[in-house]
């Protein structure tokens, strides 16, 4: 298993989706920059947060929000529009922190509830 940590800004508002099996997931993408000057590059990290924690955070994970995320890296295979195989590098988020100035206070109930769900699910399977 590959563990990955990233810090960056959300490139768009997060999306709450439901799988055909009825499981809820929150999808979002972080732009993480590294290097400097002429060598500065940006990597886009596709993130997935499963279950109740995603439901509670969807309204807080908005474009421009700076996050630190940590989780399990997975190279997901999918079928492209032309019928060929494509691969998506995904991060199944196990932990997160708001990393920048935010409109969210420490007393925000939804964030605190979501963090409690994270703590309760640390040993639970992601899917």
How many domains does the structure of the chain reveal? 1
Query: Does 35 reside within a domain?
Result: yes
Query: Does 111 reside within a domain?
Result: yes
Query: Does 126 reside within a domain?
Result: no
Residue 44: CATH number of its domain: 2.40.50.140
Return the pLDDT at 22: 93
Query: Does 127 reside within a domain?
Result: no
According to DSSP, the residues that pair with 33 across neighbouring strands are 42
pLDDT tens digits, one per residue of 57-100: 999 999 999 999 999 999 989 899 999 999 988 999 999 999 87
* Burial class of 119 by CB neighbour count within 10 A (0 to 12, 13 to 18, 19+): exposed
Return the pLDDT at 88: 86
Query: Does 103 reside within a domain?
Result: yes
Q: What is the chain's mean pLDDT, rounded?
A: 85
Residue-by-residue DSSP string for 33-95: EES-GGG-EEEEEEEEEETHHHHHHTTT--TT-EEEEEEEEEEEEEE-TTS-EEEEEEEEEEE
**For residue 103, is pLDDT > 80?**
no
Mean pLDDT on 48-63: 94
pLDDT tens digits, one per residue of 16-42: 999 999 999 999 999 999 999 999 999
Query: Does 73 reside within a domain?
Result: yes
Range of the domain at 28: 2-121
């Amino acid at each position: 298993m590959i563990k990955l940590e990233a810090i960056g800004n959300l490139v768009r508002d997060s999306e709450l989706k439901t799988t055909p099996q009825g499981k809820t997931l929150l999808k979002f993408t972080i732009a993480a920059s590294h290097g400097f000057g002429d060598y500065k590059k940006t990597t886009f990290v596709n993130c997935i947060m499963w279950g109740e924690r995603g439901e509670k955070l969807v309204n807080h994970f908005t474009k421009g929000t700076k996050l630190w995320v940590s989780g399990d890296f997975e190279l997901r295979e999918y079928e492209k529009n032309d019928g060929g195989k494509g691969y998506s590098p995904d991060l199944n988020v196990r932990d997160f922190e708001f990393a920048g100035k935010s409109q969210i206070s420490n007393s925000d109930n939804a964030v605190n509830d979501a963090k409690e769900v994270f703590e309760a699910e640390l040993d639970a399977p992601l899917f």
